[in-house]
Amino acid sequence: MSRTFLAVVGLLYVFMLAPLVVVVVVSFNAGTVTDFPPSGLSFRWYAYALSLDLYVNAIITSIWLGLAAAALSMPLGLMASIGIARGRFPGRDALQAFFLAPLATPGIVVGIALLVSYAAVGLRDAPLRLLLAHVLITFPFSVRTILASLSRLDPSLEEAAATLGASPAKLFWRVTFPLIQPGIAAGAIFSFVMSFDNIPVSIFLTDVHTNTIPIAIMSYLEYNLDPSIAAVSSMLIVGSLALALLLERIFGLRRVMGM
């Protein structure tokens, strides 16, 4: 590889990673303003962030919401994917496009649509509103990852199982499911991340008592600009890095993304 190429690659990395590095450095600021470079180093903003109910409650909400959304959208996605991948019925392609449609719809449109719809049916409970919305957001990701695993699965494996006497149910649990399990797990982790990170839909559905962490950061930012935001962001960076490493370690990120 030539020097120029390496230099370009290096610059790209700097371009992508520099803001993250700045955030992490700022989070260790000892002063009261988001100085860069910081005037002194301390953990005080971490302690402060974790003492605020706003952040702590939002983190808890985001975690349970992500877990619940992933747990619900996985079985739904699994059933939808198997129907699309194995079924032979008219409108199969249309159904697939429909299931993946939320991926291509602007989040803000989904958010407004849900806000209006919830109002129409009188659904006021914020946790439930968020959960339903996040199942909708994560569902296309589960369909996408599980479909990718199913299409990589050699159909003759299922045929072989049938010739060996496996009924359709046994065939699924003994052959298909174990073989697409990495895809299912990866889809679940993905769904969790997508839910955790969501702003455009969530922003319409939170209330005073139920906030997700990105929304909490935004509302805090409206009246304050201190390094506690950087501290929370740094914690999220570490968390998502850990998840990405986990993904890479178990399945290889490339395969998970369906690339």
Partner 1 sequence: MAAVSLRRVSKRFGAVEALREVSLDIGSGEFVTLLGPSGCGKSTTLRIIAGLTMPDDGSVWIEGSEVTRVPTYRRRIGMVFQNLALFPHLTVAENVAFGLRMRHMATSREPEMVTSALEMVRLAGFEQRYPSQLSGGQQQRVALARAVVFNPDVILLDEPLAALDRNLCEAMQQEIRDLTRRIGITAVFVTHDQEEALILSDRIAVMNQGVIEQLGTPTEIFDAPCTRYVADFMGATNLFEARVKGMNEGRLMLDAGGITVTASTTLDLSVGDRAHLAIRPERIELTLDKPAAPAFALEGVVESALYHGTISTYRVRLPDAGNATLVICQINRERKVASGSLEPGTQVWVSWAPESVYVMAK
Q: Which is nearer to partner 1, 10 or 252 (CB)?
A: 252
Determine, following the binding rule CB under 8 A, whether residue 248 of this chain makes contact with partner 1: no
Cα–Cα distance between 69 and 125 in angstroms, integer? 16
Q: Which is nearer to partner 1, 37 or 165 (CB)?
A: 165
Determine, following the binding rule CB under 8 A, whether residue 152 of this chain makes contact with partner 1: no
Cα–Cα distance between 174 and 198 in angstroms, integer? 36
Burial degree of 73 (CB within 10 A; 0-12, 13-18, 19+): buried
Q: Which stretch binds partner 1 (CB under 8 A): 7-15, 89-97, 140-148, 152-160?
A: 152-160
Q: Which is nearer to partner 1, 82 or 244 (CB)?
A: 82
**Size of site (CB under 8 A) for partner 1:** 19
What track of x and - describes contact with partner 1 for positions 95 through 114 (by CB under 8 A)?
--------------------
Torsion of CA 243, 248, 251, 252, to 10 degrees: 150
Determine, following the binding rule CB under 8 A, whether residue 252 of this chain makes contact with partner 1: no
Determine, following the binding rule CB under 8 A, whether residue 126 of this chain makes contact with partner 1: no
What track of x and - describes contact with partner 1 for positions 158 through 187 (by CB under 8 A)?
-xxxxxxxxxx-xx--xx--xx--------
Determine, following the binding rule CB under 8 A, whether residue 124 of this chain makes contact with partner 1: no
Determine, following the binding rule CB under 8 A, whether residue 87 of this chain makes contact with partner 1: no
Determine, following the binding rule CB under 8 A, whether residue 157 of this chain makes contact with partner 1: yes
Instruction: Answer for the pair 142, 189: CB distance below 8 angstroms, yes or no.
Output: no
Residue 156 CB, shortest distance to partner 1, in Å, is 4
Q: Which stretch binds partner 1 (CB under 8 A): 12-20, 107-115, 150-158, 216-224?
A: 150-158
Residue 157 CB, shortest distance to partner 1, in Å, is 5
Residue 155 CB, shortest distance to partner 1, in Å, is 9
Q: Which is nearer to partner 1, 2 or 156 (CB)?
A: 156
**Residue ranges in contact with partner 1 by CB under 8 A:** 154, 156-157, 159-168, 170-171, 174-175, 178-179
